[in-house]
Structure 1
């Protein structure tokens, strides 16, 4: 697998003393995180500029104009038919897919979450660059996908490459990949705290004192570099969060926010399942993979032509519009826009465009919040007595919907805080985010990223490092110095060759060298003493576990389950279930000890202990 291949020769490019200092010094890790943050900020600014340039060329936009902020699609687009823009981008994306996959077997690129969960932080920078290029084309042509997935992919890929060059330890490399992701999100939103907690919750999987300094430094550096290159206007004017009836927010305001969180959770699950349904539908057409984005792009373009350009691209311009106090839509218009944007996103991702639902979830959540603020008074007479204004509900809905899709409740809470600067509103956001996250976790069980892993057959629920568990296989733990005995060996001969005090377990094989069970030496001597050596006795009479065995590629967890099922303290290891040739022996006690040692090593790594 090319994505997991060690970066051969990279370590030789770095002096040995420098590598040793970086591996053994927390200060060096922080400095490397700062470099990662700066490079991540540059990557975000470059990708954003490239996608915006494509949109300006394809749709004849004025410099800096957002596609999703337009009232109607321009009629002077490059093709003369602006609804063909996403289809053209789909064709270009199909050509990229063909070019990337030409002459070599492809596998899905490893993203930061998967890299840290299964591969100890190792990613392919080449794969990451390819994903970023496809993401730029997808977003730049107007497909309803965000750039955040590409941002984190390329920034984390750079971090992994740097860490591999210094031959960093597994735990430090995972932290550095988290630093790259933190820098990318911080640069995308100008929000260092959001970037840091994105790394903790989604990429590293946990918060530790050891990872605090490098992750925060990377997020700050990424944000500063991106702001210097491409200043981002604030998404929300704090003054727009006026309180209803001039009253202060109170505990009672939590109730409608909790309800809004539940609504966002249900709609988010529907969106995630909708993407899967579209994928199944597109696959059922049997259209070649490179042509599927063009078909999806045509559908999205026609949808934007019939409804509004706000369904196109990530939705930054549209979000600005709907977080402005002067923007007002009817209930019908808001509901229609929510349905259209959700459909455009599902079709875009389901048909093969590269990107994610990060910003889409923010935009949809803001719309759901505003719709909630308009519908609630019609069914809840006391709703007008609550202190939060409609824009405030938009912020709450934005955070709750994104927490359900992305899977980072604290990430979205800090995003709301950094965007609004309002602690009272952030407290309400936290309540809604908790309700949304808990509901999705208990009813659906996945965020969008982990749902995609589940569909691919990977059992990843978070970024917690479970890769070491998979690498701790039976083949690594078993004893190989075993001498099987033929099942036809006379009992007397066996007892002379294996007196009491010799190794207590002997593996049996039949005349064809196939596994035939295990004999306990003390049990063989006891059996002979009972029946007498003059009586006919056979090893097959006392053979145990004839149908219970292990395979070399089993994990420690699978081995433990096999021991429990067989109720045996030791099992033979075979090359395959078909050949049944014995290659080793493994005991339950040794398995549990190795597993415990690995758990302790992981605990020490989490606490920053190197010894």
Structure 2
């Protein structure tokens, strides 16, 4: 469906047919300033949502775990029965909510990366509200996951809803989704540059002058808003020194270790999911079992509970022995994997920050014993924190800017950037995925970033194929074939049987060669086992052409009935792909 301005309206997103007046939509679509103002409003709303979620979780942790601090992970002591029971009860509540939703209606949950990659920025709002509720239940009961997934989900969903109400272009809608995520992360960490580049690297998957202003304005507006309505929830540390060239050997070793730990944690998540799947437990019961496991680990140390936000503050200030650090890293990584794998909802962003910081302190102790340490352990912890988060998220610039905004030290930021790049390269070479894209891979999706590839899936064989095809029966003689299809009339003919089922393709020049002495045409049939389906996209079609070593293939309805519906050539596919690519690029420039 299209409006007079020519932009496609997303179908089925629950907009109830309401949009702002046409004159306002024209302002937003025609003038970049209005888009920036809309982005600022989105940043403010995202910050308010983050503030509300933070305050709610603080109240829940106080009530359920009887603590005095901001978050349960930093508590010095928790009643053992609370540590053991609360995660189980939370798991049961989460399972009940999921079961109730599954029985009442099918609600699609689309995260911002998937929305921008496949849906042009369209995010169903009911599914986002459900995810936020599930994330708050998970974090509130102590599951070892962070709230950042909930923050970005609600911020991006609000942005997507406003973009659809204003009926913006596809490229602008994707940018606004990035604005919502940028505002949420900026508000959560009190770091506008971190939020902005989180959006560029993970949600929009590109940086351009056109997207700079709205994303940065959204991040700044969000930080200003959260500072007005909420006490500071970010962590700030100071470092005024510098790093020598010899210190970078420690940075390289730490970055590689962080990458390996990140890979191990992501694989452990998949392993835990596989164990729960094979166990035969119903979906609603799995979080309770996972909660029991996390509760058991919490009896050793409360630091494994929740996101680890307060535990990170404590860990930076406290002195831990090497043995305790190894125990803490192992328990936290296992608790996070169990929480995600058993069905709790949330992210690993802050868990990765905590794990990286503790690994950095552990490596600093070992390095000091072996070679001596010239820089503070805190600095090594910050480098590890950002390197580990890069391994999990795949956003090196975001983590470098987080270091800059939390320490104010340019030399340390350079070291963090080096560690982040090394960690990112190691993960890409050894594993190939960040946590977000790894989750897509487990679901069978092929996307590896939020780059807009949804239009590629829309460019299907059915849209590109020719329907004016020439066919011949398989029992025709060669002489009859030559009479019906003289040279120059057509290049190829599709062969079908008596029931019009696809059998293959005959090239007309091949049939007219003097060496073709057979009386039947069956000996000339090619590609009998290869055909295209109408719902294949252009990339799948190009792969089929390459695998078959053919420049044209028949299109059939399915591989059961094999009724021929068209023909597609490789040259035409390439031309349509190029035209669509140019059109998308022009849309981005015009936006």
User: Which TM-score applies when normalising by structure 1?
Assistant: 0.89
Relative to structure 1, is the Cα distance of residues 351 and 564 closer, same or farther in structure 2, using a 3 angstrom cutoff? closer
Q: Distance in 1 between matches of 2:508 and 2:337?
A: 64
Out of 278, 283, 296, the position equivalent to 2:277 is 283
- Give the match for residue 308 of structure 2: 315
Relative to structure 1, is the Cα distance of residues 213 and 513 closer, same or farther in structure 2, using a 3 angstrom cutoff? same
Out of 284, 291, 295, the position equivalent to 1:297 is 291
Please identify, of 559-568 and 110-119, the stretch whose mean Cα deviation from structure 2 is larger. Answer: 559-568
- Give the match for residue 328 of structure 1: 319
Relative to structure 1, is the Cα distance of residues 31 and 480 closer, same or farther in structure 2, using a 3 angstrom cutoff? farther
- Give the match for residue 460 of structure 1: 447
- Give the match for residue 577 of structure 2: 595
Q: Give deviations 1:303-346, integer Å, cap 9, x for gaps.
A: 222x222221111111111223xx21222222222222222212
Q: Distance in 2 between matches of 1:393 and 1:224?
A: 30
Q: Distance in 2 between matches of 1:212 and 1:281?
A: 44
Q: Distance in 2 between matches of 1:331 and 1:12?
A: 60
Q: Does the residue aligned with 1:551 lie in a helix, a strand or coil?
A: coil
- Give the match for residue 428 of structure 2: 441
- Give the match for residue 197 of structure 1: 197
**1:553-564 map, 5 Å:** 553-564=535-546
Relative to structure 1, is the Cα distance of residues 482 and 168 closer, same or farther in structure 2, using a 3 angstrom cutoff? farther
Deviation of residue 27 (structure 1)? 2.5
Q: Does the residue aligned with 1:550 lie in a helix, a strand or coil?
A: coil
Out of 8, 13, 17, the position equivalent to 1:7 is 13
Q: Distance in 1 between matches of 2:67 and 2:163?
A: 41
Q: State the superposition RMSD in angstroms.
A: 2.5
Q: Does the residue aligned with 2:590 lie in a helix, a strand or coil?
A: coil
Q: Does the residue aligned with 2:139 lie in a helix, a strand or coil?
A: helix
What 5-or-longer segments of structure 1 have no aligned partner?
Answer: none
1:29 equivalenced with 2:35 (yes/no)? yes
Deviation of residue 356 (structure 1)? 1.0
- Give the match for residue 367 of structure 1: 358
Out of 308, 328, 342, the position equivalent to 1:337 is 328
Contact between 2:440 and 2:447, CA under 8 Å: does it hold in 1?
yes
Deviation of residue 605 (structure 1)? 4.0
Q: Does the residue aligned with 1:573 lie in a helix, a strand or coil?
A: strand
Q: Distance in 1 between matches of 2:357 and 2:342?
A: 25
Q: Give deviations 1:75-107, integer Å, cap 9, x for gaps.
A: 7xxxx6443111111111111111111144566
Q: Distance in 1 between matches of 2:326 and 2:434?
A: 24
Contact between 2:146 and 2:347, CA under 8 Å: does it hold in 1?
yes
Deviation of residue 568 (structure 1)? 3.0
Contact between 2:493 and 2:507, CA under 8 Å: does it hold in 1?
yes
1:67 equivalenced with 2:72 (yes/no)? yes
Count of residues in correspondence between the two structures: 582
Out of 38, 42, 50, the position equivalent to 1:44 is 50
- Give the match for residue 146 of structure 1: 146
Deviation of residue 540 (structure 1)? 4.2
Deviation of residue 536 (structure 1)? 9.2
Relative to structure 1, is the Cα distance of residues 544 and 55 closer, same or farther in structure 2, using a 3 angstrom cutoff? same
User: Which TM-score applies when normalising by structure 2?
Assistant: 0.92
What 5-or-longer segments of structure 2 have no aligned partner?
Answer: 1-9
Contact between 2:88 and 2:288, CA under 8 Å: does it hold in 1?
yes
Q: Distance in 2 between matches of 1:164 and 1:175?
A: 12
Deviation of residue 495 (structure 1)? 5.9
- Give the match for residue 232 of structure 1: 232
Q: Give deviations 1:536-588, integer Å, cap 9, x for gaps.
A: 95554654444432111222122222223333332221111221111111111
Contact between 1:7 and 1:164, CA under 8 Å: does it hold in 2?
no
**1:79-478 map, 5 Å:** 81-105=82-106, 109-232=109-232, 235-238=235-238, 241=239, 243=241, 248-305=242-299, 307-324=300-317, 327-380=318-371, 383-384=372-373, 386=374, 388-478=375-465
Deviation of residue 280 (structure 1)? 2.5
Q: Give deviations 1:143-162, integer Å, cap 9, x for gaps.
A: 11100011111111121222
Relative to structure 1, is the Cα distance of residues 65 and 209 closer, same or farther in structure 2, using a 3 angstrom cutoff? closer
Contact between 2:66 and 2:78, CA under 8 Å: does it hold in 1?
no
Relative to structure 1, is the Cα distance of residues 7 and 284 closer, same or farther in structure 2, using a 3 angstrom cutoff? closer
Deviation of residue 166 (structure 1)? 2.8
Deviation of residue 133 (structure 1)? 0.2
Q: Give deviations 1:457-510, integer Å, cap 9, x for gaps.
A: 112222222222222111110112335344456667766665665444443332
Relative to structure 1, is the Cα distance of residues 232 and 519 closer, same or farther in structure 2, using a 3 angstrom cutoff? same
Deviation of residue 397 (structure 1)? 0.9
Q: Give deviations 1:341-376, integer Å, cap 9, x for gaps.
A: 222212222221111110011111111111222221
Choose 1 or 2 for highest CA Rg.
Answer: 1
Deviation of residue 117 (structure 1)? 1.6
Q: Does the residue aligned with 2:555 lie in a helix, a strand or coil?
A: strand
Deviation of residue 603 (structure 1)? 3.2
Q: Give deviations 1:179-214, integer Å, cap 9, x for gaps.
A: 111111111101110011111111111111111111
